[in-house]
Structure 1
Amino acid sequence: MDRRQFIGASAVAGVALGAPATAMGRRLGRSDVERARARLVDLRRLDDYSGGAAVHPLAVREIGHLAGLAASGTYTEDVGRQLLGTLGELYQFAAWTAFDAGHGEQARRLALAAANAANRSGDRTLGATALSELSYLTASSEHPAEGVAMARASLANARGAIPAVRVVLADRLAWACARTGDVTGAERALGIGQEAHDRRDDASDDEPDTVYWINRDESMIMAGRVWSALGRHDRAGAVFETLTAPYDDTHAREMSLLHCWLADARLGAGEVEGAATSARRAAELAARTASPRTDAMLRDTLGAFGMHRDTPAVGELLDTWYDSHPA
């Protein structure tokens, strides 16, 4: 196992390698891999409640710690591959938290590092999900076209993947297609995702923790976002309206984003007062989480109400918001 892959983590993540001096030459084994993976599971759940801005520094620190251990310790080839795969998972998670914290370029750099580490470790499933995450980040940027090619490649690279993984890859392909105006491609990708959900219901696979969050509600949310991005606001609203509180308010980021997307769909469909109600709820929830991405989306959502300021519900919403968020 080439140790340069671990030493290089300092450049990728912008962090010093963090192993203690006592780790130099220590024999690493499966238990070290398991401890790192358990820590990552905890960080993923913490992100659900706290937001990317709060958790990203912890993820970066964990990268430095694991890479430092691997760069200074000794291990078998098999353990080395597992350590590298775990580092790839950390890169992938850190990419997500960087994106949520508003650091788009850093997020894309980390997602690419995740895909490279996964491929070098021989973990094709992680390689596919990391590439699909990169596609999502790219599609969500100002230049989304390249995201479609990445998303298609990730799906093609996962033909034998378990259903839960294919759901994630298909949903992200749908988003990339929507961002480029490809209605047919988006609809086809959503269909692939639903077929994978059906197979997942009948499967008994052990699913990697990288996809713990995916379920039918999440796919419905993505479908609503896809139709909204394509300008099909009535169809988007119909999808969002069928959701019955997929999370409680402890998941403030997810619920705030959901209300932002619902507000956008309602406003696009001409339901101004209903849109204002959703936007107000989004603002209340956004204040409870450390997610600059959510804050930015909320600002965009509120900005779309400008032409409706004479509507009482909108005027009250905007006055309340701008009074508490002066320029």
Structure 2
Amino acid sequence: MACVLVTGGAGFLGTAVVRRLARRGDRVIVLDNFQAGGSENLGGLGSNVAVFSGDMTDLDGLLALIRKHRVQRIIHAAAIVSTLPSLSAPSYVTRVNIEGTLNVLEAMRLGDVERAVHISSEETYGAFRHEPADEEHPVAPIAPYGISKVASEQLGRFYRTVYKTDFISVRTSWVYGPGFPRQRIPRTLIEAALAGRPLHLSCGGEARIDHTYLDDCVEGILLALDHPVHPFDVYNVASGEAWSTAEMVALVKELIPGADLSVGPGPLWYDDGLVVPPKGALDLSRAKRVLGYQPKYDLRRGLASYIEWYRRGQLPREN
């Protein structure tokens, strides 16, 4: 039974990873500062999960935790996530995301940790120059969040080259599903439709994005964690399909009859000052070939599963 540290383990993605690890019998150590996710998100787990409060900028605390619990592997999900929050606090994002990753790498080196899987993002690509975008697509992020992820990946490569640290990055894309904490599609569309509220987005209908269901993302992360020897240090883990916002709206209306939803033309915007760059599908060939990754949820199935979660009476966590 391996001992796996999950940083950011009380957050949206981290919680799902922790639950999967716990179910399969791993010993799991959760480290979180509980700013984005509460300890209640981890309720009902067994004795093989231990939860600790701490900050990723505290190298001494991180290393002490790793040594005390003899951590063998790390899933590094702790970060200030998404582009929008990074616009208002770029220095904070830089400190938490880049310094936090550097501390993970140092703790791996000093604590003899076998491997870390770092949760990266398609935001590293910036505007897609071709589609589907494979891992060799140029990286040109447009905002502090994506920039921090590129820097983290590059630090991982440095440690991999100099110290032989096994640091693997998984580039996810617009992950959604039960418990998603932020006001973003498709959550906003589903909640409005189920509540019988009209929701008419003024623009964004033409934006094409690879939306990834939570279960598929977790599966890809664990495949990267478990793979014996990695020939690459980065993998795309997504759905492999891009849907426009207009197509998403049509699917939600089909799955929730009577929903009063619409979206205008043009691109999506992160806020009034920054447009979401042109995106598209991610190329999953590498993850499929090396890891055996195979997404199970296209957008229709993912939306249907998400809607069913709401209909069972679940409430989203606010962030």
The answer to whether the superposition gives a TM-score over 0.5 is no
- Name the TM tier (shorter chain): 0.3 to 0.5
Question: Which structure carries more strand by proportion?
Answer: 2
TM-score by length of structure 1 reads 0.32
Q: Which has the larger radius of gyration?
A: 1
TM-score by length of structure 2 reads 0.32
